Amino acid sequence: MKYRRLSKEQFEALHEAFSQFLASQSIDQHKWADLKAAESELIDRQLDAFSDLVWEATLRKTVYIDHLSPGAYFGFHAGQQSLRMVGVKLPLDLDFNAPETWQWLETHWEDQGVSFYMDQKPYARPRTEILFELIEKGGVLAESDNFERLSKSFPS
């Protein structure tokens, strides 16, 4: 297995796609029920194969990942050749999901204890592996909003 098995909730949300995946392998609902009762190793292989397929497709399409923690935001832009990161740490445990935190940053960006980060590196390993690691460490798939907002607010 290249990534990790999807959670029960993720499988439930992807029920229709999983059914199509099984159908593409000539496994219908009745055959699946029989397999579940008798061949747990084959079931595990099917669950793992589908999970890898979903992860691979998702990671290939991923462009932005946000990593938020109290008082910190790190955004990642996943280009095809390199990963760009922008980040900020605050001296307070403010929540970057709240608009007030961004407003606070606009007026306090020069305060002591406010640190900005920016970096860009080419991928040293396959792009999808690096993005998966970021997600496993708490990153979430995101739109460009926070990344672009912080990129534009960097002090000159």
How many residues comprise the chain? 156
Q: Enter the DSSP assignment of 70.
A: T
| Residue type present at position 34 | D
Q: Are residues 53 and 86 in the same domain?
A: no
Task: Check residue 154 and give its pLDDT.
Answer: 66
Number of other residues whose CB lies within 10 A of the CB of residue 77: 18
Instruction: Flag whether 14 is in a domain.
Output: yes
Beta-ladder partners of 22: none
| Residue type present at position 7 | S
Q: Are residues 68 and 83 in the same domain?
A: yes
**pLDDT tens-place values along the chain, 156 residues long:** 999 999 999 999 999 999 999 999 888 888 888 888 887 788 899 999 999 999 999 999 999 999 999 999 999 999 999 999 999 999 999 999 999 999 999 899 889 999 999 999 999 999 999 999 999 999 999 999 999 999 887 655
Instruction: Flag whether 1 is in a domain.
Output: no
Instruction: Flag whether 134 is in a domain.
Output: yes
Q: Are residues 84 and 146 in the same domain?
A: yes
Q: Are residues 127 and 53 in the same domain?
A: no
Q: Are residues 100 and 23 in the same domain?
A: no
Query: Locate tokens 């496994």: which residue?
Result: 27
Q: Are residues 52 and 75 in the same domain?
A: no
Q: Are residues 86 and 146 in the same domain?
A: yes
Distance CA 86, CA 17 (A): 35
Q: Is 66 helix (H, G, I), strand (E, B) or coil?
A: strand
Query: Locate tokens 């007030």: which residue?
Result: 100
Q: Are residues 97 and 146 in the same domain?
A: yes
H or E segment and range at residue 127: helix 127-136
Instruction: Flag whether 39 is in a domain.
Output: yes
pLDDT, one tens digit per residue, over 112-138 is 999 999 999 999 999 999 999 999 999
Closest Cα to residue 139, out of 65, 84, 86?
Answer: 65
Count of H-run helices and E-run strands, the chain: 7, 5
Q: Are residues 71 and 147 in the same domain?
A: yes
Task: Check residue 119 and give its pLDDT.
Answer: 94
Q: Enter the DSSP assignment of 5.
A: P
Region of residue 84 (phi > 0: left; psi between -120 and 50: alpha; otherwise: beta): beta
Q: Which domain holds residue 86?
A: 64-152
Q: Are residues 79 and 44 in the same domain?
A: no
Q: Are residues 57 and 71 in the same domain?
A: no
Query: Locate tokens 């990671």: which residue?
Result: 59
Instruction: Flag whether 3 is in a domain.
Output: no
Q: Are residues 33 and 97 in the same domain?
A: no
> Which backbone phi and psi does 26 adopt, to 5 degrees?
60, 35
Task: Check residue 89 and give its pLDDT.
Answer: 96
Task: Check residue 37 and give its pLDDT.
Answer: 83
Task: Check residue 42 and give its pLDDT.
Answer: 85
Of 44, 61, 78, the one marking the end of a domain is: 61
What's the domain count of the chain? 2
